Structure 1
């Protein structure tokens, strides 16, 4: 009896784009039929003569593709894509749960800040109320406020979110 191993399993992969090419690369991937996710955040930008709301990538020069392993070349052949992210000599994949948590964070009305600072791990917490209820993270002191750190280790960055202390409990 032959057993076929499914090598077509889709995984989320972070990809690095050329500077300021995130939106164009995302559009090009979608046109190719490749599932891609570009986390965008609305920000109020000020120029000398006006203010305007714009959508900017949450994590500069990054977007995420949901593909089987054999489509990696198609992604690299897309205009605006620079490379996949490697750790220990291998292309890194992200758990589906991290993408879902990122989508949940962006759908909330919380103001997010991304830092590439390697923040020291703190006390493990779980959010017990509000739009982020059920998300686990690490608590740190940052700018004299208590904030939740959702560590995205496969990207090498952290997302800092302002959360009321009453919404947080120990794990």
Structure 2
């Protein structure tokens, strides 16, 4: 859709994240949309409905029935952030809070389950592991866990 709109002269921005994917025989570098399902467009009133007629378009993100408008300086900031910190970007819709049950995704404790007992800043959590009959605490990066409770995901 991004390429189709560009060919038609509609200004659009699709933030991409570079990721390494490991197959059994090789590692491949791929680009994926940073925000799945989102394409930023700058349109005139005339182009507003034309964009929706494009294959793959569903709707504009709207608040109170009006299409969301993002200031150009914020789009510029997003572009700068994506180009300078692409390898450090992690996007999640999960809301992590004390008491949330999580599973560790990588490292020596991979697949171990625990409960969040403390949140330290925006990037670290303290987990409690009771699987051995003891309460063991460990400080883990938020990016290294996934929520096991469905109510911890924002809709």
With normalisation by structure 2, the TM-score equals: 0.60
Pairs within 5 Å for 1:99-118: 99-109=75-85, 110-117=87-94
Distance 1:58 1:82, change over 3 A: same
Q: Which residue, 2, 23, 26 being the options, matches 2:2?
A: 26
Q: CA RMSD in A?
A: 2.5
Deviations 1:66-89 (A, max 9, x none): 112331111001111111111111
The residue aligned with 1:141 is: 122
The residue aligned with 1:36 is: 12
Q: Give the number of the structure whose residues are more often strand, by fraction.
A: 1
**With CA pairs under 8 Å and 6+ residues apart, which has the higher RCO, 1 or 2?**
1
Shift of 1:28: 0.9
2:51 and 2:80 map into 1 onto residues whose CA distance is 25
* 3-state SS in 1 of match to 2:47: helix
Deviations 1:48-81 (A, max 9, x none): 2221000111111111001123311110011111
The residue aligned with 1:21 is: none
Shift of 1:118: 5.4
* 3-state SS in 1 of match to 2:40: strand
- Number of corresponding residues: 105
2:81 and 2:28 map into 1 onto residues whose CA distance is 23
Deviations 1:73-112 (A, max 9, x none): 1100111111111111111111112111111111114510
Gaps of 5+ in 1: 1-24, 121-139, 147-156, 158-171
* 3-state SS in 1 of match to 2:59: strand
The residue aligned with 1:68 is: 44
Q: Give the number of the structure whose residues are more often helix, by fraction.
A: 2
With normalisation by structure 1, the TM-score equals: 0.55
Q: Which residue, 65, 75, 84 being the options, matches 2:60?
A: 84
